[in-house]
A = this chain, B = another copy of it.
Amino acid sequence: MKAPTTSQSSSSNNDTGDHSNDLDSDPIFHLRSRTAAAGTLQRPQIQYESLDYDVCENKLFHAEQRKRLRDRFSLRIHVIRWIIFILIGIITALNACFVNIVIDLLSEQKYKFLKASVEQNVPVNGGDGDLALPYLWWLLLSVVPVAVGATMVTYIEPITAGSGIPQVKCYLNGVKVPRIVRIKTMAVKTIGVITTVVGGLAGGKEGPMIHAGAVVAAGISQGKSTTFVKDFRIFKAFRDDHEKRDFVLGGGAAGVAAAFGAPIGGMLFSLEEAASFWNQNLIWRTLIASIISSFTLNIVLSAYKGLENFTFTGLFNLGKFKEPLTFAYFELPIFMLFGVAGGLLGATWNALNTLINKVRRRFVPWKLGKVAEAVVISIIGVTLATIMIYFIDDCRPLDKERISYPVQLFCEDNEYNAVAALWFQTPEATVRALFHDEEGAHNIRTVGYFTLVYYFLACATFGLNVSLGVFIPTALVGAAWGRLVAMQFLDWFPDAHFLNPGKYALIGAAAHLGGVLRMTISLSVILMETTGAETSFFFPLIIALISAKWVGDYFNEGIYDMVIEESHAPILPWEPVPQYKGLTALEILSKPVVCIKLRDSAHYIYEVLLRCDHNGFPVVDDVKDNRRCEGRVCGIILRSQLIVILLKSLYVENKRFWLPETSIQTFREVYPRYPSIKSVRPLDRKENYTVDLSMFMNPSPVRVNNHDSVPKIFNIFRALGLRHMLVISNENRIAGIITRRDFIYK
């Protein structure tokens, strides 16, 4: 029943006595227990800082506000904001187009070559050929791209591993994930996902596209790039965490829209999964970004595929169902059972995947090993596929329109090998096949083995050090077992015409997705938009998804949340957890707090910054005997602001020079990567410069009373998106400080 920080908050309480001998020159403070002194061991959490959603309304801010009121600035800001959202939509879509087209072209070359190789080595008409050479070619064409991708990810930018959605989710929750929204990250991710998908690993390109959308949004809205060390000097007004987070939200939605061609789905995805803070205008802008994004994607892809009339029929990534999907009431329990199965399979998958990744982290910590691992999984995949193709004898009459790369292999003329057809294409194309192939296009045994192999393959793949998403493999496994069940029952009851295998493949995909990802509303809308299903089919989809989610939630969390948990990011839940009940602020706060006086010596500030790495310092006045940590609260100041103050020498003694020159721009210029305290020239102890913080500090930090209950202050912290929350006594004296990490309950 104790929050995690209490165990740490007992330190350095014993040096309260030796205050009065040092007067204003030497830093006198207690280390807040939670945060290590600078230079000591970095714990896993320490890499995550919070974003600052709370606007610092200091005097400089008000001065700028007054200026803006005069020159109709606020209308201009609005228009620019809209333009940025539109740009985000367009550029995200163009990136998605690039990924799509390159993957298309490379996959085409790869599978054409493999088909030719098979045909060359296995003589047509029942000859007793050998698959050894095609197998080796296949291995080569899979291992090389995978190795390239894994090397890039491992050595250039490790943050690009995986889908990217967990990281974006953390970011939108308010956790600053380092390097997550850089252009370099996006470049590595884009190439990484292309190589991975072309290499044939069990992964999709959707997650990385969503991540790319977020990067685009962060990049454009800031008008500068850290990777290229280039500042375009535009959009300066948007350089704070608050604005940036809104843009990233739009970027995520645009990414979903581009990945699936699902604008409403994109908006709902942002809403359901990502956004912590929400209002009507934000919904609006997010929707516009998604619409623009899916529209751009559509135009470009239509042009690429040579459709002349540009008739907008939607971009059905997973193929449009030829006939409207209908269902009868008695099927509802079946959908529910599918959901339950999806929940069980999904929960197992999540648990297994987490276990595999734990083992992986423990036994393969070195970099080369991680690349080798990806290569091994790739080899296993190709080998299993080859074994299936070799040993399962499943020949089907050839239908040239449907199968991209039909391989005759050991089949008769005008037949093709159905097993090879499942493997000789991207996973996305396989999902399409499972949804839309007519009854009897597949063999129960083939699909059965395929499901089994792919389930474990996907499980071993997600978590490798490569860029890839989990959506498509999950949908693929779900579609496979959904279709399998329908085929099996149709085999037993040939009169049950409602058992349309395509329909049940879709339901299976929904159930399995629900079981693994635990999203419901946005997933069902995405599935509807991406298959062009009727709005009435929303009902079966949501039934399957909800059943899956409920069953799955009984066992564990969604895969994204499990990844986040493994990364120890201090993500805040939606609602206060039950363990908070009965606790008060006093029991979770960190104290004593390192405070700074309203007018304090520059030297003290310098020493504080050097000796502890907190990011926010309460500003106090009415300090007796230099005991700052018992002062009366009058504001809060951030580490970054203090560094700027020291760097620019904004001392009281220099006052007559800096007043007209200083504005909020001085602080904004260095956002978001503030220089470290080490870049400040050490101050001579004898120069007794003074800093007056009244102009720079945030004079209205959120304060709560030390007896307020934790569920209540959690709600405030969550709703306002805070970084620091000051706990005060009844006399408005500082009692402690609460940050994101104090709420994390293990």
Assess whether B328 is in contact with A309, with CB atoms less than 8 Å apart.
Answer: yes
Assess whether B74 is in contact with A709, with CB atoms less than 8 Å apart.
Answer: no
Q: Which of B69, B309, B312, B326 contacts A313 (CB 8 A)?
A: B326
Question: Within A32-57, which residues are at the interface with B (CB < 8 Å)?
Answer: 55, 57
Binary B-proximity of A219-246 (CB < 8 A = 1, otherwise 0): 0000000000000000000000000000
Q: How far is the CA of A107 from the CA of B267 in the complex (A)?
A: 41
Question: Whose C-beta in chain B lies nearest to the C-beta of A531?
Answer: B535
A704 at the binding interface (Cβ < 8 Å): yes
Assess whether B283 is in contact with A310, with CB atoms less than 8 Å apart.
Answer: no
Q: How far is the CA of A730 from the CA of B267 in the complex (A)?
A: 43
Binary B-proximity of A305-339 (CB < 8 A = 1, otherwise 0): 00001111110000000000011110000000000
Query: How distant is A516 from chain B, measured CB to nearest CB, in Å?
Result: 18
Question: In the complex where A281-B574, A291-B542 touch, is A69 in contact with B582 (Cβ < 8 A)?
Answer: yes
Tell me which residues across on chain B come within 8 A of A732, comparing CB atoms: 728, 730-732
Q: Which one of A142-150, A453-461, A601-609, A711-719 is at the interface? A: A711-719
Q: How far is the CA of A62 from the CA of B711 in the complex (A)?
A: 12
A612 at the binding interface (Cβ < 8 Å): no
Question: Within A269-296, which residues are at the interface with B (CB < 8 Å)?
Answer: 271-272, 278-281, 283-284, 287-288, 291, 295
Question: In the complex where A708-B700, A730-B732 touch, is A534 in contact with B314 (Cβ < 8 A)?
Answer: yes
Assess whether A529 is in contact with B539, with CB atoms less than 8 Å apart.
Answer: no
Assess whether B264 is in contact with A574, with CB atoms less than 8 Å apart.
Answer: no
Tell me which residues across on chain B come within 8 A of A521, comparing CB atoms: 264, 267, 283, 287
Q: How far is the CA of A314 from the CA of B539 in the complex (A)?
A: 9
Q: How far is the CA of A521 from the CA of B309 in the complex (A)?
A: 28
Binary B-proximity of A696-740 (CB < 8 A = 1, otherwise 0): 000110111101110110011001100000001011100000000
Q: How far is the CA of A338 from the CA of B310 in the complex (A)?
A: 21
Tell me which residues across on chain B come within 8 A of A719, comparing CB atoms: 719-720
Q: Which of B74, B283, B313, B578 contacts A536 (CB 8 A)?
A: B313
Tell me which residues across on chain B come within 8 A of A709, comparing CB atoms: 57, 62, 700
A463 at the binding interface (Cβ < 8 Å): no
Tell me which residues across on chain B come within 8 A of A299, comparing CB atoms: 329
Assess whether B310 is in contact with A329, with CB atoms less than 8 Å apart.
Answer: yes
Q: How far is the CA of A57 from the CA of B583 in the complex (A)?
A: 12
Question: In the complex where A536-B532, A709-B700 touch, is A279 in contact with B575 (Cβ < 8 A)?
Answer: yes
Query: How distant is A259 from chain B, measured CB to nearest CB, in Å?
Result: 16
Tell me which residues across on chain B come within 8 A of A278, comparing CB atoms: 278
Q: How far is the CA of A355 from the CA of B59 in the complex (A)?
A: 44
A581 at the binding interface (Cβ < 8 Å): yes
Q: How far is the CA of A581 from the CA of B730 in the complex (A)?
A: 30
Question: Whose C-beta in chain B lies nearest to the C-beta of A68?
Answer: B581
A528 at the binding interface (Cβ < 8 Å): yes
Q: How far is the CA of A700 from the CA of B705 in the complex (A)?
A: 7
Tell me which residues across on chain B come within 8 A of A731, comparing CB atoms: 632, 731-732
Question: Within A469-487, which residues are at the interface with B (CB < 8 Å)?
Answer: none
Tell me which residues across on chain B come within 8 A of A312, comparing CB atoms: 326-329, 536, 539
Assess whether B538 is in contact with A632, with CB atoms less than 8 Å apart.
Answer: no
Tell me which residues across on chain B come within 8 A of A69, comparing CB atoms: 578, 581-582
Question: In the complex where A272-B280, A536-B312, A539-B263 touch, is A707 in contact with B703 (Cβ < 8 A)?
Answer: no
How many copies of the chain does the oligomer comprise? Answer: 2
Tell me which residues across on chain B come within 8 A of A703, comparing CB atoms: 703, 705
Binary B-proximity of A536-565 (CB < 8 A = 1, otherwise 0): 101100100010000000000000000000
Assess whether A538 is in contact with B264, with CB atoms less than 8 Å apart.
Answer: yes
Q: Which of B271, B327, B534, B730 contacts A634 (CB 8 A)?
A: B730
Assess whether B712 is in contact with A700, with CB atoms less than 8 Å apart.
Answer: yes
Question: Whose C-beta in chain B lies nearest to the C-beta of A261?
Answer: B536
Tell me which residues across on chain B come within 8 A of A283, comparing CB atoms: 271-272, 521
A66 at the binding interface (Cβ < 8 Å): yes
Question: Within A673-715, which residues are at the interface with B (CB < 8 Å)?
Answer: 699-700, 702-705, 707-709, 711-712, 715
Assess whether A712 is in contact with B574, with CB atoms less than 8 Å apart.
Answer: no
Tell me which residues across on chain B come within 8 A of A329, comparing CB atoms: 299, 310-312
A525 at the binding interface (Cβ < 8 Å): yes
Q: Which of B536, B574, B699 contacts A280 (CB 8 A)?
A: B574
Tell me which residues across on chain B come within 8 A of A263, comparing CB atoms: 538-539, 542
A65 at the binding interface (Cβ < 8 Å): yes
A92 at the binding interface (Cβ < 8 Å): no
Query: How distant is A703 from chain B, measured CB to nearest CB, in Å?
Result: 7
Most central of A309, A634, A709 by chain B CB within 10 Å: A709
Question: Whose C-beta in chain B lies nearest to the C-beta of A540?
Answer: B312
Q: How far is the CA of A731 from the CA of B263 in the complex (A)?
A: 52
A417 at the binding interface (Cβ < 8 Å): no
Question: Within A497-539, which residues are at the interface with B (CB < 8 Å)?
Answer: 520-521, 525, 528-529, 532-536, 538-539
Tell me which residues across on chain B come within 8 A of A533, comparing CB atoms: 535
Query: How distant is A738 from chain B, measured CB to nearest CB, in Å?
Result: 14
Assess whether A314 is in contact with B699, with CB atoms less than 8 Å apart.
Answer: no
Tell me which residues across on chain B come within 8 A of A700, comparing CB atoms: 704-705, 707-709, 712
Q: How far is the CA of A730 from the CA of B619 in the complex (A)?
A: 13
Tell me which residues across on chain B come within 8 A of A542, comparing CB atoms: 263, 287, 291
Query: How distant is A702 from chain B, measured CB to nearest CB, in Å?
Result: 7
Question: In the complex where A264-B525, A709-B62 touch, is A281 in contact with B575 (Cβ < 8 A)?
Answer: yes
Assess whether B538 is in contact with A535, with CB atoms less than 8 Å apart.
Answer: no
Most central of A65, A263, A280, A532 by chain B CB within 10 Å: A280
Tell me which residues across on chain B come within 8 A of A634, comparing CB atoms: 730
Q: How far is the CA of A712 from the CA of B284 in the complex (A)?
A: 22
Q: Which of B65, B525, B582, B705 contacts A62 (CB 8 A)?
A: B582
Tell me which residues across on chain B come within 8 A of A711, comparing CB atoms: 57
Question: Within A569-590, which residues are at the interface with B (CB < 8 Å)?
Answer: 574-575, 578, 581-582
Q: Pick 19 A–B contacts, CB within 8 A, sort by A.
A: A66-B582, A263-B539, A271-B271, A272-B283, A280-B574, A284-B520, A288-B546, A291-B539, A309-B328, A311-B329, A312-B536, A312-B539, A314-B535, A533-B535, A535-B535, A632-B730, A700-B712, A703-B703, A715-B720
> Would you list the 3 A-B pairs with minimal beta carbon distance, nearest first?
A314-B536, A700-B708, A719-B719
